[in-house]
Structure 1
């Protein structure tokens, strides 16, 4: 007997499951779908509004609150309220070291290349987990509003996101119980929302100016035969409307003759000022004067002063536009269309400067907060096969990747990537003097290779003997139109090279692919937990090795208490490594880092001054 679904929200017959488009933003996120009239529409869950603030708060029990409810805790409990997590996706500690002061919560710092972790209460979270919480909230809102299960989605990312950041976004989707059909560039989605690129006969070169709350980027796209090619991107991942707010706050501090250092220590008051500044900025989009009071602090701002405060930041964005055009080898005259994306483009001064630079009025008819999500919904509709006018290229049915330390799957070609495709990533050795590297190729969606399908294995031999971490091995996957995968490994310093051809889809039925996909969603939470435990152990073992080596090499610069206490912390970390609790390992690692940091810095100062005198000490 055939089943017919009726969508209770729309009253329409539902032949297919709805695939949603999601804009996972730095400041706000939102979800859209194609309504029964075949138009993209942002989902507004009753009483909660269209935008979901990308904020996650953890209470004393470790339960997560997301969105509007979480935003309230930015003032009352800033240490356990995480915002702008998108900036941390796929990033290492080193990547964000210079921006720690922009976050009110604690980012665990081991001064290494490991991916960042955020501490809230006694738990440690990865940006993937936190983004997963935001996506769960979006999924729940969509299901509540549409009265139907939502299990498949298209998620957008900035055009400059690298493989690691894109994979982190996919993992967050999986953790939220979503099958992520495609990761789409935000400028591509914005173009689709304006109907640019839907007509295969259309040829255009466009600029997408995206100024959000925390990030700015400009992308130059070439659209031909329905294919979007990113010619260049430029921008600043730490420049956005938040900087406008910060400039206003510092202006008010100066005008009220307040002590900046004392205020900085009062997180709640600083957050209150920041939110008041955001209110002033929004008000000045439609009026010339903002005049309110916060306690005893006068918060007055006129349009002219505001424009003066943000002038340098907006000028930076225009410089990025110049650089993007230069990289694309294009002149301003060769740009056919300009599209505005991001809430901060509502600022009249921003619009003026963009129009002045490009010499044409930019598209701003669609709400700049919604345009990316609406485009993602159109892309989802295309993937669902509902657009007969658009050709869908063949895609990979399952992810392809290699095995890394601890039996983890590192995806190189994600599921649903267009075929033909080429992707690669750089790896290094884990042991001193390692001369061979075993490369095992797998297909599947699970985090552990033991749950995926092994396709092939080969050895890259003849790597020059060097300390661990020094060799640079590029592993490239080339998947041709016939479905033949060529895996190539090359050590860049020596030129040692090895490659193998594989037919990845051989012997896989549609049922097998579907079962593997369902398993990946069903086991997403346990898979991610296992991955994080394995990664925490790896980082903990590395820290133990580094700390013990540091004591051996530099004992003459340390006192007895520092040596004995460090050994105690090392022993505590070793004990935690034998357990199966990820947070305990990270807690002990954090304690060891915190204890050793002051005298580690002292020893490095001695090293620098000794080197200046022509001496050296062994590092």
Structure 2
């Protein structure tokens, strides 16, 4: 088995070919994307989301964007998240480690995720790098893989990987494509030519300091200016809190026309609350997007091509979800970009396909059809949880882990749904069945649900009680693919027509469930806290809880979501103190 790995500046992902199909592998939280962040602390090393959670409290020990330092000499990179030192070999070192050693920790985490999911050892990998990486940077990436215990069988260009994921090798005998890759930390535009099944990079231009992180920083600065704050005068922890909130607002503005920028007690005493519209973000983006279009113009000139001579333009990287970016790309190239793949996952999927070809595990498939509508199941609160999005090429499979919503629950009803609406009631039910399991406390019983559609369009739904290993399998013939065109158009039309109210109801339902879970837990924690919580913190928590109750009564989605986030943030320190006290008491009992 050979793994396919996208070792990204901001995020990374790992995949493998299973049963002849390339799939990306999720961590224990069900996330297929792992932040490229590493925390080096006195008591150990943490990678991914755990490392990012440490950033606001311990920024000097969290390394992000280490890919920028790979294969570089000291002095070539100006400015980094932690101080840089000169190594004995003239290279860069951060927190006493080489960039390869830091990257190796990320690769070890991806290897661990793969081995956990596949339940067997993985020793080989295909790892992607930007097209502009030189020999030293490619060699450094290979060394990182070896330090992580992986034999790197191929270093693959990221645009080639993306082209493979989009199936652009099937365009024709000779085709030219542009891959527009705007990630978290870097941008590059690559022009590829495919001939006789081989991709050749004709030209590449990019900016190694332009990406989603720069947008977040500019948006945080905008928010600070609006509040008449000097962003650069704030301490590191406060700046990070504003940047994290800016990232959330940026993502939300891809779906909404305006979003509340909420940073309660960002510096321990002051709070920031203002409304930011999509127009403000677009204006902020304009110079950044213009820099990417300049790179596109230069890359096409280098390849001696005009935009109309391209067969396809594909978007890669999470920042390409921003409407202003998509609009600028469409206008420059004179064609709508291909949006058929997940922008965060395309490179990793392409690496996985290449790994499958090299390992001989990827069989040749005739792709007969696509799913006309999304397929999923109903989850607690009456929400639609999509497992297979519409227009996914078949055969395909996807799964997720679910837990019991109530203590003592003895079974879970799985309702198989098809449609594009946010609430389960507005979609079509294809079937339903009960999955029995042993009664357990809330959230302790685990049921894995997997959808698999074969090449004949037959949907097989498998539900497994993780504790007993007992499977419940239901077959739904043809309903997943054989849907009348008119019915599909009606469903998609309704989803667009009701998009805002559907999303508002989903946001309110999710926030309401979180609030109903959080409020009793907060009351219980405050009662048990005693002198663990200062009067000021207790007052802050009580005010935040009152805000949640008020927002619940008003029934408005965004205020409720914001109130829940505020309460969540206000109780972080208390929760940590209670856990620490419980551990100390347990240790005392053991010693006693």
TM-score by length of structure 2 reads: 0.59
Q: Offset of 1:39 from its aligned partner?
A: 2.3
Distance across 1 between alignment mates of 2:55 and 2:232: 20
Other structure's SS at 2:77 match = helix
Distance 1:175 1:198, change over 3 A: farther
Residue pairs, 1:221-236, within 5 angstroms: 221-236=192-207
- Cα deviations by residue, 1:403-439 (Å, 9 ceiling, x for unpaired): xxxxxxxxxxxxxxxxxxxxxxxxxxxxxxxxxxxxx
- Could you say which residue in structure 1 is the equivalent of 2:258? 289
Distance across 2 between alignment mates of 1:260 and 1:370: 33
Q: Offset of 1:46 from its aligned partner?
A: 2.7
Q: Offset of 1:378 from its aligned partner?
A: 0.5
Other structure's SS at 1:205 match = strand
- Answer whether contact 1:20 1:150 (CA < 8 A) is retained: yes
> Residue 66 of structure 2: which of 85, 95, 117 is its match?
85
> Residue 92 of structure 2: which of 103, 112, 116 is its match?
116
- Cα deviations by residue, 1:558-583 (Å, 9 ceiling, x for unpaired): xxxxxxxxxxxxxxxxxxxxxxxxxx
Q: Offset of 1:253 from its aligned partner?
A: 1.1
Distance across 2 between alignment mates of 1:130 and 1:48: 24
Q: Offset of 1:109 from its aligned partner?
A: 4.9
RMSD: 1.7
Q: Offset of 1:387 from its aligned partner?
A: 5.1
Distance 1:143 1:244, change over 3 A: same
Distance across 1 between alignment mates of 2:273 and 2:250: 15
> Residue 319 of structure 1: which of 294, 305, 309 is its match?
294
Distance across 2 between alignment mates of 1:261 and 1:352: 32
- Cα deviations by residue, 1:366-416 (Å, 9 ceiling, x for unpaired): 1100000111011001101245769xxxxxxxxxxxxxxxxxxxxxxxxxx
Other structure's SS at 1:137 match = helix
Distance across 1 between alignment mates of 2:57 and 2:278: 31
- Answer whether contact 1:284 1:290 (CA < 8 A) is retained: yes
Matched, 1:29 2:1: no
- Answer whether contact 1:252 1:300 (CA < 8 A) is retained: no
Residue pairs, 1:390-539, within 5 angstroms: none
Distance across 2 between alignment mates of 1:303 and 1:326: 33
Paired positions, count: 359
Matched, 1:60 2:42: yes
- Could you say which residue in structure 1 is the equivalent of 2:407? none
- Could you say which residue in structure 1 is the equivalent of 2:410? none
Other structure's SS at 1:125 match = coil
Matched, 1:278 2:255: no
Q: Offset of 1:297 from its aligned partner?
A: 1.4
- Answer whether contact 1:215 1:239 (CA < 8 A) is retained: yes
Distance across 1 between alignment mates of 2:86 and 2:259: 40
- Could you say which residue in structure 2 is the equivalent of 1:366? 341
- Answer whether contact 1:93 1:113 (CA < 8 A) is retained: no
Distance across 2 between alignment mates of 1:147 and 1:310: 44
> Residue 39 of structure 1: which of 15, 18, 21 is its match?
21
Distance across 1 between alignment mates of 2:293 and 2:54: 35
> Residue 69 of structure 1: which of 42, 46, 50 is its match?
50
Matched, 1:148 2:120: yes
Distance 1:151 1:198, change over 3 A: farther
TM-score by length of structure 1 reads: 0.57
Distance across 1 between alignment mates of 2:177 and 2:232: 45
> Residue 188 of structure 1: which of 154, 160, 180 is its match?
160
